[in-house]
Structure 1
């Protein structure tokens, strides 16, 4: 079972410390979320910096809101980062749900799923070295991984789960072990229905905070502020894991469900959490 670190967003300059400690530890991946109308670092830019400051750990968007971005430019950015990191990019994609993010980009909130499907068709073609159209040539560079970086999709609705089989390499599950199993089974069923070889890669996510009470309080406040728009922030914060035992049990629970990796997502800013979580892992 691989275990990654989801990075906090409150202090972009501090992420170098997090990344270098994680790269020196037992962790497999660095994850970073995406929003536009919020005080968070832009993930592709931030992960490019972190990739340059590390040597082996993967960098993962979790999830990048692809419909808010120009398709050809996103394909080029992803291919560039994948190529320059030697294939360390994992492109986690989703559609988002914030009206303000879509307002400022002029993207119709009601068509974002269809737009993502259209984007994937174009990006897969470009990453394979095909021209953009009959009138426009190829858009390089070629990614390190043939066919493009590994693509994971997040979401809960059937359309999102089916998208994993149609366009992706795996599934990002922000769900507790108690109900993630049904999502995993649905993704695997779609995978077989589409005749895909092997199995989809399953990456789970749990929210954690480990350390003194002020670290936990900081994490809860940051997470609550981030998810206030959902109307479910209180419930989500309640699910944050704050003990070594709880974190170990969650990792074991996802392992029992056949997950390939668990991302321990942090909202508190204390980088010493990396060392504490390393001891848990």
Structure 2
């Protein structure tokens, strides 16, 4: 099983240091989440810089709010990043839970799921051979495509459009989601198996560093009410807890566990590598 690293959202200036160190370590990927109404870097722009600063590691969005974006430009940006990275790009997509991200971009929050379904058909058209809008992606049909979410609609998109699924849920719910993804994949008679990715939050180190990380997580999830409290409860703050979580998700069939850290201290890369690698 592979280990990925979620890059910190708070300071774009540290991303290349994190990525270069991850590129020389045991990690298979580095990822960035997506918000609009938040003080975070735009992930496609940031990951293009990360791709240029690395040689081996995959770059991925975990996950990009596709319905908040214009579809044709999204297709062009994703294909460009795919080409710049030499095919090392994974496009993780979701619909997001926060209305303000859609208000800011002039999109209808309540139609975001239907909009994503429409976008997926259009993205495939734009990435097809012979499309007038280039560049052509390195892989026929577009970059590797993963979906995040909790609903049956999100799970159905994996079998219809995607290559796999990203779970940001506790182990018991992740088990249910993984099994549902596999079932719909088989029902759709897709060849092979879906790629299954689990995502966890971790902050390792001395108490003051852990406190900073927990504060950053609380700020990011504050608008989601009780869900934010559950996220904080599940943050992994010791190497033993992180190792145990990785082993649990491996037993559930995860192909990769992405460990998101919430401090900008670059030594977190080595701490996470030692604990989970």
Give the TM bin, normalised by the shorter chain.
over 0.9
- Note the residue ranges of structure 2 that are not aligned, 5 or more in a row: none
Task: For 1:185 and 1:130, locate their aligned partners in 2 and report how far apart those are by CA, in whole Å.
Answer: 37
* Residue number in structure 2 paired with 1:167: 161
Q: Supply the distance in 2 between the matched residues of 1:119 and 1:129 (Cα, whole angstroms).
A: 18
CA distance in structure 1 between the aligned counterparts of 2:29 and 2:120, rounded to whole angstroms: 23
Paired residues of 1:209 and 1:268 also in contact (CA < 8 A): yes
- Superposed structure 1 runs of 4+ greater than 4 Å apart: none
Partner of 2:24: 24
Q: CA deviation at 1:233?
A: 1.6
Q: How does 1:1-281 map to 2 (within 5 A)?
A: 1-131=1-131, 138-231=132-225, 232-280=227-275, 281=277
What's the CA shift string for 1:125-177, capped at 9, x where partnerless? 2111254xxxxxx2111111221100000000111111111111000000122
RMSD, matched Cα: 0.9
- 8 Å Cα contact 1:35-1:101 kept in structure 2: yes
Superposition TM-score, scaled by structure 2 size = 0.97
Whether contact under 8 Å (1:215, 1:269) holds in the other structure is no
Number of equivalences: 275
Partner Cα separation in structure 2 for residue 96 and residue 276 of structure 1: 30
TM-score (norm 1): 0.96
How much does 1:234 deviate?
2.1
CA offset digits 1:225-269 (Å, max 9, x no partner): 000111022221111001111111111111111110000011111
Superposed displacement of residue 93, structure 1: 0.2
Structure 1, unpaired ranges of 5+: 132-137
